[in-house]
Amino acid sequence: MSAELVPDAREHRPLLLGVRRLTPWSLVLVGSSLTLLIAGAVLGALWLSSTETRTVSWHLPASLGGIELHVQSGDVAIVGGSQTGVSISSSNRFVFGHGPRERRSVRAGILRVSSDCPQMVVGSCSASYRVDVPNNVPISIRTEHGDIRLDGYQGSADIATDSGAINVEGYCGFVLGAASASGAISVSTACSPERLTLRSGSGDVSATVPPGNYRIQAASAAGATTVRGLVDDGGAPWTIQALSNTGKVGLSAGS
């Protein structure tokens, strides 16, 4: 009598062995997650379709005693050497029909411009400015979230940003103060400023100035500090202060 073949029990094991059934609570969680993902995708699509940019330009032909600009969200560019007064162009980003709120005033010869954005659940608006300004018009700039750039400006400037970089090219003037809480500061000057004050909380600070003797204070609490081609002279007529808490600090002589 032939031996009866005994089937291998392994052949009858379920293919999904070890896979647990989803409990009702798990199904609820999965459904909720899918709903959130779909809602997020829909909101993202609506945000993209509702975003638009509008540009507004205006001009002040009369001479001014100074300019004060306060921007909550957006970049600021100052271009010096204008021969036709002050020209301002703002690029405003709107989301869901909501855009930046701008206020302008001129008092005692000082132009004051401020811009901020309303609270929004999704997205944010912004207002970026370009200002063409004549020489020797003092400027004061504050941004909360945005970079600041000065190009060929001649005069005295006080500029600061909470979270953004500061870049200055071809500066020539008496006093330049630049401060950033978290961004880098880079300055190059076409002449020796009477006082140059540069401070950053966590960014690098660098300056290139004409060769010569300066009263120099350059230091970083945690980064490297270098001074090249400049003479530290306590009796010099020009002063440079460059400080950073955690970034590198570098001063050098330009050509």
Return the percentage of the chain with pLDDT > 90, whole number.
69
Which residue from 216, 221, 180 is spatially nearest to 198, judged by alpha carbons?
A: 180
Quick: pLDDT tens for 92-124.
987 766 688 999 999 999 999 999 987 755 557
Q: How far does Cα 211 stand from its chain's mean position?
A: 31
Tell me if 192 sits within 8 A of 211, measured CB to CB: no
For residue 42, what pLDDT is reported?
45
Q: Assign 121 to helix, strand or coil.
A: coil
CA-to-CA separations, 57 to 60, 90, 149, 189, 208, in angstroms, rounded? 11, 6, 19, 29, 33
Tell me the average pLDDT of the chain: 85
Residue 7 pLDDT exceeds 50? no
CA-to-CA separations, 2 to 5, 7, in angstroms, rounded? 9, 15
State the average pLDDT over residues 162-182.
97
Q: Assign 233 to helix, strand or coil.
A: coil
For residue 53, what pLDDT is reported?
86
Q: Which has more confidence, 41 or 195?
A: 195
Residue 52 pLDDT exceeds 90? no
How many Cβ atoms are within 10 Å of 46's Cβ, its own excluded? 14
Instruction: Set out the domains of the chain in order of their start, with CATH numbers.
Output: 53-253 (2.160.20)
Quick: pLDDT tens for 208-244.
999 999 999 999 999 999 999 999 999 999 999 999 9
State the average pLDDT over residues 137-159.
97
